[in-house]
Amino acid sequence: MASGGDGREPVNEQAIANLYAAMRSDINQLYSKITELEMEVSEHSLVIGAIQPLDPSRRCYRMIGGVLVERTIKEVLPAVQRNKDGLQEVISRLNEALEKKKKEISEFEAKYKIRIRKSDEEARDDSGPKEGSAQGVLVGPAGSDQ
């Protein structure tokens, strides 16, 4: 296992497992950050959609650094749009980093012949017939035949 030139060659199975877990953790962090930023973009879009048709001289309030300030729609709309564009740029960069990490982890899996084993419970779930999940769905009172 002395091949590779990245300077962080693992020495045993435990080191390989630890490095793999760290890589998986990085990918999960990227996913969660991308999701968080996409929610913010969605909120910005809602605000833009709500204030765009209004009179530009109408006053509105905006939270800046924890302080609520009074501005006009004409002043706030471009700022909100710039913030949304900036968030979309960050999301695209994070997606590029995510793709790079995915490629890196797949190469690592191939190099060390890593396969993910499913737990016994997941394996049983996969072997059975698939049915829709009704978790959290209220259909109606039990026993009603209407």
pTM above 0.75, yes or no: no
Closest CA to 34 of 106, 96, 103, 102: 96
How far does Cα 11 stand from its chain's mean position? 33
pLDDT score of 126 more than 90: no
Contacts (Cβ under 8 Å, ≥6 apart) of 73: 51, 54, 55, 56, 57, 58, 59, 60
Query: Into how many domains does the chain fold?
Result: 1
Would you say 72 and 60 are in contact if contact means Cβ atoms under 8 Å apart? yes
pLDDT score of 4 more than 80: no
Residue 45 belongs to domain with CATH number? 1.10.287.370
**Residue 33 is part of which domain span?**
13-112
Inside any domain, residue 141: no
Inside any domain, residue 127: no
Distance CA 136, CA 139 (A): 10
Residues 88-116: tens digit of each pLDDT = 999 999 999 999 999 999 999 998 888 88
pLDDT at 112: 87
Helix axes of 13-51 and 73-112: crossing angle, nearest 10 degrees: 160
Find the distance separating the first CA and the last CA of the chain, reported in whole Å.
69
Q: CB neighbours (10 Å) of residue 86?
A: 12
